[in-house]
Structure 1
Amino acid sequence: MAVQFMFGVPVPVTTPKPKPAPEADNRIWSLYVGDLDPQVTEADLIDKFRLIGPIASVRLYRDSFTGDSLRYAYVNFFTLLDASTALCFLNHKVLKGKPIRIMWSQRYPLTRKTGIANLFVKNLHPSFTSAQLQTMFSTFGKILSCKVAAENGKTKGFGFVQYDFGQSAMTARNALHGTLVKGKKM
Protein backbone atom coordinates (compact mmCIF):
# COMPACT_ATOMS: atom_id res chain seq x y z
CA MET A 1 0.00 0.00 0.00
CA ALA A 2 1.32 3.36 -0.96
CA VAL A 3 1.50 6.17 1.60
CA GLN A 4 1.43 9.85 0.94
CA PHE A 5 2.00 12.64 3.42
CA MET A 6 -0.55 15.42 3.85
CA PHE A 7 0.42 18.20 6.23
CA GLY A 8 3.05 15.90 7.66
CA VAL A 9 0.54 13.11 8.42
CA PRO A 10 0.81 9.80 6.57
CA VAL A 11 -2.34 9.02 4.54
CA PRO A 12 -2.79 5.68 2.81
CA VAL A 13 -3.30 6.03 -0.94
CA THR A 14 -5.61 3.61 -2.62
CA THR A 15 -5.48 3.34 -6.33
CA PRO A 16 -8.87 2.74 -7.85
CA LYS A 17 -9.21 -0.56 -9.61
CA PRO A 18 -9.71 -0.09 -13.33
CA LYS A 19 -13.25 -0.76 -14.45
CA PRO A 20 -13.55 -3.70 -16.78
CA ALA A 21 -14.16 -2.78 -20.38
CA PRO A 22 -17.78 -3.13 -21.39
CA GLU A 23 -18.50 -6.43 -23.03
CA ALA A 24 -18.69 -6.30 -26.79
CA ASP A 25 -22.07 -6.95 -28.35
CA ASN A 26 -21.39 -10.21 -30.13
CA ARG A 27 -24.91 -10.62 -31.48
CA ILE A 28 -25.53 -11.06 -35.16
CA TRP A 29 -28.56 -9.31 -36.64
CA SER A 30 -30.23 -11.60 -39.13
CA LEU A 31 -32.53 -10.71 -42.02
CA TYR A 32 -34.63 -13.12 -44.03
CA VAL A 33 -34.46 -12.27 -47.75
CA GLY A 34 -37.13 -13.95 -49.86
CA ASP A 35 -38.83 -13.91 -53.24
CA LEU A 36 -35.43 -14.18 -54.89
CA ASP A 37 -35.02 -14.78 -58.59
CA PRO A 38 -33.73 -18.36 -59.07
CA GLN A 39 -30.52 -16.99 -60.63
CA VAL A 40 -29.54 -14.91 -57.56
CA THR A 41 -26.25 -16.06 -56.01
CA GLU A 42 -24.52 -15.39 -52.70
CA ALA A 43 -22.24 -12.96 -54.55
CA ASP A 44 -25.27 -11.01 -55.81
CA LEU A 45 -26.59 -10.71 -52.25
CA ILE A 46 -23.20 -9.62 -50.94
CA ASP A 47 -22.93 -6.97 -53.66
CA LYS A 48 -26.40 -5.63 -52.83
CA PHE A 49 -26.14 -5.64 -49.02
CA ARG A 50 -22.50 -4.65 -48.47
CA LEU A 51 -23.35 -1.12 -49.56
CA ILE A 52 -25.18 -0.80 -46.22
CA GLY A 53 -22.37 -2.01 -43.96
CA PRO A 54 -20.10 -4.93 -43.08
CA ILE A 55 -21.81 -8.30 -43.51
CA ALA A 56 -21.19 -11.11 -41.03
CA SER A 57 -22.42 -13.83 -43.40
CA VAL A 58 -24.80 -14.71 -46.22
CA ARG A 59 -26.49 -18.05 -46.72
CA LEU A 60 -28.57 -18.81 -49.79
CA TYR A 61 -30.62 -21.94 -49.28
CA ARG A 62 -30.51 -24.58 -52.01
CA ASP A 63 -32.17 -27.91 -52.68
CA SER A 64 -29.85 -30.57 -51.29
CA PHE A 65 -30.31 -32.86 -54.31
CA THR A 66 -30.50 -30.51 -57.30
CA GLY A 67 -28.54 -27.54 -55.96
CA ASP A 68 -31.30 -25.23 -57.25
CA SER A 69 -32.01 -22.11 -55.25
CA LEU A 70 -34.93 -22.33 -52.84
CA ARG A 71 -35.26 -18.57 -53.50
CA TYR A 72 -34.56 -17.36 -49.97
CA ALA A 73 -31.50 -16.47 -47.95
CA TYR A 74 -30.35 -15.03 -44.65
CA VAL A 75 -28.08 -12.00 -44.57
CA ASN A 76 -26.41 -11.38 -41.21
CA PHE A 77 -24.98 -8.06 -40.04
CA PHE A 78 -22.70 -7.20 -37.15
CA THR A 79 -24.82 -4.25 -36.00
CA LEU A 80 -28.48 -3.56 -35.45
CA LEU A 81 -28.11 -0.24 -37.26
CA ASP A 82 -26.80 -1.85 -40.45
CA ALA A 83 -29.48 -4.56 -40.43
CA SER A 84 -32.24 -1.99 -39.80
CA THR A 85 -30.90 0.23 -42.58
CA ALA A 86 -30.83 -2.70 -45.01
CA LEU A 87 -34.41 -3.59 -44.11
CA CYS A 88 -35.53 0.00 -44.57
CA PHE A 89 -33.74 0.77 -47.84
CA LEU A 90 -33.54 -2.56 -49.66
CA ASN A 91 -36.96 -4.10 -48.95
CA HIS A 92 -38.91 -4.46 -52.22
CA LYS A 93 -35.90 -3.32 -54.29
CA VAL A 94 -35.17 -5.18 -57.50
CA LEU A 95 -32.43 -7.79 -57.70
CA LYS A 96 -31.96 -9.58 -61.04
CA GLY A 97 -35.26 -8.18 -62.30
CA LYS A 98 -37.37 -9.20 -59.30
CA PRO A 99 -38.33 -7.28 -56.12
CA ILE A 100 -36.95 -8.92 -53.00
CA ARG A 101 -38.80 -9.18 -49.69
CA ILE A 102 -36.86 -8.58 -46.47
CA MET A 103 -37.95 -9.11 -42.89
CA TRP A 104 -36.35 -9.79 -39.55
CA SER A 105 -35.44 -13.42 -39.11
CA GLN A 106 -37.95 -14.98 -36.75
CA ARG A 107 -36.23 -17.75 -34.87
CA TYR A 108 -39.48 -18.64 -33.10
CA PRO A 109 -42.32 -18.67 -35.65
CA LEU A 110 -45.13 -18.87 -33.06
CA THR A 111 -46.35 -15.32 -33.78
CA ARG A 112 -46.55 -16.02 -37.50
CA LYS A 113 -48.25 -19.39 -37.05
CA THR A 114 -50.88 -18.24 -34.56
CA GLY A 115 -52.14 -15.64 -37.00
CA ILE A 116 -52.95 -13.16 -34.22
CA ALA A 117 -51.40 -10.15 -35.96
CA ASN A 118 -51.80 -11.36 -39.55
CA LEU A 119 -54.13 -9.97 -42.19
CA PHE A 120 -55.24 -11.55 -45.43
CA VAL A 121 -55.97 -8.84 -47.99
CA LYS A 122 -57.98 -9.88 -51.03
CA ASN A 123 -59.38 -8.38 -54.22
CA LEU A 124 -56.24 -6.41 -55.01
CA HIS A 125 -55.79 -4.82 -58.42
CA PRO A 126 -53.41 -6.84 -60.66
CA SER A 127 -50.90 -3.97 -60.69
CA PHE A 128 -50.73 -3.73 -56.87
CA THR A 129 -47.23 -4.47 -55.50
CA SER A 130 -45.89 -5.61 -52.14
CA ALA A 131 -44.26 -2.19 -51.68
CA GLN A 132 -47.62 -0.45 -52.22
CA LEU A 133 -49.31 -2.83 -49.78
CA GLN A 134 -46.66 -2.11 -47.17
CA THR A 135 -46.98 1.64 -47.65
CA MET A 136 -50.76 1.46 -47.30
CA PHE A 137 -50.70 -0.62 -44.11
CA SER A 138 -47.60 0.86 -42.41
CA THR A 139 -49.52 3.75 -40.86
CA PHE A 140 -51.22 1.33 -38.45
CA GLY A 141 -48.16 -0.20 -36.80
CA LYS A 142 -44.86 -1.95 -37.26
CA ILE A 143 -45.04 -4.44 -40.12
CA LEU A 144 -42.96 -7.59 -39.76
CA SER A 145 -43.75 -8.97 -43.21
CA CYS A 146 -45.80 -7.89 -46.19
CA LYS A 147 -46.33 -9.66 -49.49
CA VAL A 148 -48.63 -9.65 -52.50
CA ALA A 149 -48.89 -13.23 -53.74
CA ALA A 150 -47.64 -13.74 -57.29
CA GLU A 151 -46.93 -16.56 -59.67
CA ASN A 152 -44.87 -16.35 -62.85
CA GLY A 153 -44.60 -12.58 -62.44
CA LYS A 154 -48.38 -12.02 -62.19
CA THR A 155 -50.11 -11.11 -58.94
CA LYS A 156 -52.84 -13.40 -57.69
CA GLY A 157 -54.99 -10.54 -56.37
CA PHE A 158 -54.34 -11.13 -52.67
CA GLY A 159 -51.65 -10.52 -50.10
CA PHE A 160 -50.62 -10.82 -46.48
CA VAL A 161 -49.59 -8.29 -43.85
CA GLN A 162 -48.05 -9.36 -40.53
CA TYR A 163 -47.82 -6.83 -37.69
CA ASP A 164 -45.88 -7.07 -34.46
CA PHE A 165 -49.10 -6.63 -32.41
CA GLY A 166 -52.65 -7.86 -32.91
CA GLN A 167 -54.07 -4.43 -32.11
CA SER A 168 -52.29 -2.94 -35.13
CA ALA A 169 -53.83 -5.60 -37.36
CA MET A 170 -57.32 -4.95 -35.97
CA THR A 171 -56.95 -1.18 -36.41
CA ALA A 172 -55.78 -1.62 -40.01
CA ARG A 173 -58.60 -4.03 -40.79
CA ASN A 174 -61.22 -1.70 -39.32
CA ALA A 175 -59.83 1.28 -41.21
CA LEU A 176 -59.23 -0.31 -44.61
CA HIS A 177 -61.85 -3.05 -44.97
CA GLY A 178 -64.02 -2.22 -47.97
CA THR A 179 -61.75 0.56 -49.17
CA LEU A 180 -61.65 1.19 -52.92
CA VAL A 181 -58.10 0.94 -54.23
CA LYS A 182 -57.46 1.30 -57.98
CA GLY A 183 -61.16 0.66 -58.58
CA LYS A 184 -61.32 -2.55 -56.54
CA LYS A 185 -62.95 -2.97 -53.11
CA MET A 186 -60.55 -4.61 -50.61
Structure 2
Amino acid sequence: MKEIAASQAYRLLEPGPIVLVTTSYDGKPNVMTMGFHMMIQHAPPLIGCVIGPWDHSYQALSETGECVIAIPALDLAETVVDIGNCSGDSVDKFQRFGLTARPAKTVSAPLIAECLANIECIVADTTVVDTYNLFILAVKRIWIDETREETRTLHHRGDGSFTIDGGTLDLRDRMVKWRHLP
Protein backbone atom coordinates (compact mmCIF):
# COMPACT_ATOMS: atom_id res chain seq x y z
CA MET A 1 0.00 0.00 0.00
CA LYS A 2 1.08 3.56 -0.66
CA GLU A 3 0.92 6.11 2.16
CA ILE A 4 -0.71 9.47 1.45
CA ALA A 5 -0.87 12.64 3.55
CA ALA A 6 -3.20 12.58 6.57
CA SER A 7 -4.69 15.84 5.30
CA GLN A 8 -6.27 13.82 2.48
CA ALA A 9 -8.59 11.84 4.82
CA TYR A 10 -11.62 13.83 3.64
CA ARG A 11 -11.05 12.51 0.12
CA LEU A 12 -11.71 8.99 1.38
CA LEU A 13 -14.41 9.61 3.96
CA GLU A 14 -16.59 12.36 2.52
CA PRO A 15 -19.86 11.30 4.12
CA GLY A 16 -22.50 12.48 1.73
CA PRO A 17 -23.38 14.28 -1.43
CA ILE A 18 -22.37 17.81 -2.23
CA VAL A 19 -25.24 20.04 -1.16
CA LEU A 20 -26.38 23.60 -1.67
CA VAL A 21 -27.17 25.62 1.44
CA THR A 22 -29.61 28.50 1.13
CA THR A 23 -30.02 31.34 3.57
CA SER A 24 -31.94 34.59 3.59
CA TYR A 25 -30.63 37.69 5.33
CA ASP A 26 -32.12 41.17 5.19
CA GLY A 27 -34.50 39.89 2.50
CA LYS A 28 -31.67 38.66 0.24
CA PRO A 29 -31.55 34.94 -0.56
CA ASN A 30 -28.17 33.32 -1.03
CA VAL A 31 -26.86 29.88 -1.90
CA MET A 32 -23.49 28.25 -1.28
CA THR A 33 -21.96 24.88 -2.15
CA MET A 34 -21.00 22.71 0.82
CA GLY A 35 -19.28 19.34 1.11
CA PHE A 36 -18.52 19.09 4.83
CA HIS A 37 -21.65 17.80 6.54
CA MET A 38 -22.80 14.74 8.43
CA MET A 39 -25.79 13.14 10.07
CA ILE A 40 -25.36 13.35 13.82
CA GLN A 41 -28.53 11.75 15.09
CA HIS A 42 -31.56 9.86 13.73
CA ALA A 43 -34.30 11.11 16.01
CA PRO A 44 -34.76 13.92 16.33
CA PRO A 45 -32.77 14.30 13.12
CA LEU A 46 -29.66 16.46 13.54
CA ILE A 47 -27.18 17.45 10.84
CA GLY A 48 -23.73 18.90 11.40
CA CYS A 49 -22.33 21.25 8.79
CA VAL A 50 -19.17 23.30 8.53
CA ILE A 51 -19.72 26.87 7.40
CA GLY A 52 -16.94 29.25 8.34
CA PRO A 53 -16.65 33.01 8.58
CA TRP A 54 -14.93 33.00 5.17
CA ASP A 55 -18.32 32.02 3.67
CA HIS A 56 -20.84 34.80 2.99
CA SER A 57 -23.58 32.49 4.32
CA TYR A 58 -21.94 32.31 7.76
CA GLN A 59 -23.34 35.67 8.87
CA ALA A 60 -26.83 34.88 7.57
CA LEU A 61 -26.90 31.50 9.33
CA SER A 62 -25.47 32.99 12.53
CA GLU A 63 -27.99 35.85 12.57
CA THR A 64 -31.14 34.04 11.42
CA GLY A 65 -30.51 30.55 12.80
CA GLU A 66 -32.07 28.89 9.77
CA CYS A 67 -31.24 27.49 6.36
CA VAL A 68 -32.23 24.98 3.72
CA ILE A 69 -29.98 22.14 2.65
CA ALA A 70 -30.81 21.41 -0.99
CA ILE A 71 -29.55 18.22 -2.62
CA PRO A 72 -28.69 18.65 -6.30
CA ALA A 73 -28.35 15.85 -8.83
CA LEU A 74 -25.75 15.19 -11.50
CA ASP A 75 -27.51 17.46 -14.01
CA LEU A 76 -26.54 20.45 -11.81
CA ALA A 77 -22.87 19.44 -11.41
CA GLU A 78 -21.34 22.37 -13.27
CA THR A 79 -23.72 24.81 -11.60
CA VAL A 80 -22.82 23.41 -8.16
CA VAL A 81 -19.11 23.96 -8.81
CA ASP A 82 -19.70 27.44 -10.25
CA ILE A 83 -21.81 28.46 -7.23
CA GLY A 84 -18.87 27.49 -5.03
CA ASN A 85 -16.51 29.68 -7.06
CA CYS A 86 -18.19 33.01 -6.34
CA SER A 87 -19.45 34.87 -3.29
CA GLY A 88 -22.96 35.95 -2.45
CA ASP A 89 -21.62 39.27 -1.16
CA SER A 90 -21.19 40.39 -4.76
CA VAL A 91 -23.37 38.02 -6.83
CA ASP A 92 -27.08 37.16 -6.82
CA LYS A 93 -26.46 33.45 -7.30
CA PHE A 94 -30.12 32.56 -7.85
CA GLN A 95 -30.23 34.97 -10.79
CA ARG A 96 -26.77 34.19 -12.18
CA PHE A 97 -27.31 30.44 -12.19
CA GLY A 98 -31.00 30.40 -13.12
CA LEU A 99 -32.16 28.76 -9.90
CA THR A 100 -35.81 28.92 -8.90
CA ALA A 101 -36.37 29.96 -5.29
CA ARG A 102 -39.52 28.51 -3.74
CA PRO A 103 -40.84 29.52 -0.32
CA ALA A 104 -40.20 27.14 2.54
CA LYS A 105 -42.87 26.51 5.18
CA THR A 106 -40.85 26.82 8.39
CA VAL A 107 -37.80 28.96 7.53
CA SER A 108 -37.23 32.14 5.53
CA ALA A 109 -34.44 30.57 3.44
CA PRO A 110 -35.74 29.41 0.06
CA LEU A 111 -36.05 25.91 -1.35
CA ILE A 112 -34.37 25.29 -4.73
CA ALA A 113 -36.91 23.92 -7.22
CA GLU A 114 -34.23 22.30 -9.42
CA CYS A 115 -32.92 20.06 -6.61
CA LEU A 116 -33.86 16.47 -5.73
CA ALA A 117 -34.66 17.34 -2.15
CA ASN A 118 -34.76 20.32 0.20
CA ILE A 119 -34.35 20.07 3.97
CA GLU A 120 -35.58 22.96 6.10
CA CYS A 121 -33.35 23.39 9.16
CA ILE A 122 -32.94 25.55 12.21
CA VAL A 123 -29.74 25.91 14.21
CA ALA A 124 -30.03 23.68 17.27
CA ASP A 125 -26.58 24.12 18.79
CA THR A 126 -23.75 26.61 18.29
CA THR A 127 -21.39 25.46 21.03
CA VAL A 128 -18.74 24.27 18.55
CA VAL A 129 -19.13 27.03 15.96
CA ASP A 130 -16.36 29.20 17.39
CA THR A 131 -13.95 26.28 17.68
CA TYR A 132 -14.76 24.21 14.58
CA ASN A 133 -17.21 26.28 12.47
CA LEU A 134 -19.61 23.37 13.04
CA PHE A 135 -23.30 24.23 13.17
CA ILE A 136 -25.69 21.58 14.51
CA LEU A 137 -28.96 21.82 12.59
CA ALA A 138 -32.34 20.36 13.51
CA VAL A 139 -34.38 19.13 10.56
CA LYS A 140 -37.88 20.61 10.49
CA ARG A 141 -39.28 19.62 7.07
CA ILE A 142 -38.12 17.66 4.04
CA TRP A 143 -39.34 18.12 0.46
CA ILE A 144 -38.64 15.51 -2.24
CA ASP A 145 -39.18 15.88 -6.00
CA GLU A 146 -40.27 12.37 -6.96
CA THR A 147 -40.75 13.37 -10.61
CA ARG A 148 -37.07 14.09 -11.33
CA GLU A 149 -35.51 11.85 -13.94
CA GLU A 150 -31.91 12.49 -12.82
CA THR A 151 -31.40 11.31 -9.25
CA ARG A 152 -27.68 10.56 -9.08
CA THR A 153 -25.81 12.72 -6.57
CA LEU A 154 -22.24 14.05 -6.51
CA HIS A 155 -19.66 13.23 -3.85
CA HIS A 156 -16.58 15.47 -3.77
CA ARG A 157 -13.23 13.69 -3.65
CA GLY A 158 -11.08 16.84 -3.60
CA ASP A 159 -9.27 18.77 -6.32
CA GLY A 160 -12.46 19.04 -8.38
CA SER A 161 -13.01 15.30 -8.83
CA PHE A 162 -16.31 13.69 -7.90
CA THR A 163 -17.80 10.26 -7.45
CA ILE A 164 -21.26 9.91 -8.94
CA ASP A 165 -23.90 8.06 -6.99
CA GLY A 166 -25.34 5.12 -8.85
CA GLY A 167 -27.58 2.20 -8.09
CA THR A 168 -28.60 0.89 -4.72
CA LEU A 169 -27.98 -2.36 -2.91
CA ASP A 170 -30.90 -3.51 -0.75
CA LEU A 171 -29.70 -5.36 2.36
CA ARG A 172 -32.61 -4.40 4.62
CA ASP A 173 -33.34 -8.03 5.45
CA ARG A 174 -29.88 -8.32 7.01
CA MET A 175 -30.20 -5.17 9.16
CA VAL A 176 -31.88 -6.98 12.03
CA LYS A 177 -30.33 -4.91 14.79
CA TRP A 178 -31.60 -1.62 13.30
CA ARG A 179 -35.14 -2.55 12.24
CA HIS A 180 -36.65 -0.26 14.88
CA LEU A 181 -35.39 2.84 13.03
CA PRO A 182 -37.80 4.51 10.62
Q: What is the TM-score when the length of structure 1 is the normalising length?
A: 0.23
- The structure number with the bigger radius of gyration is 1
Q: What is the TM-score when the length of structure 2 is the normalising length?
A: 0.23
| Higher relative contact order, structure no. (Cα contacts within 8 Å, ≥ 6 residues apart) | 2
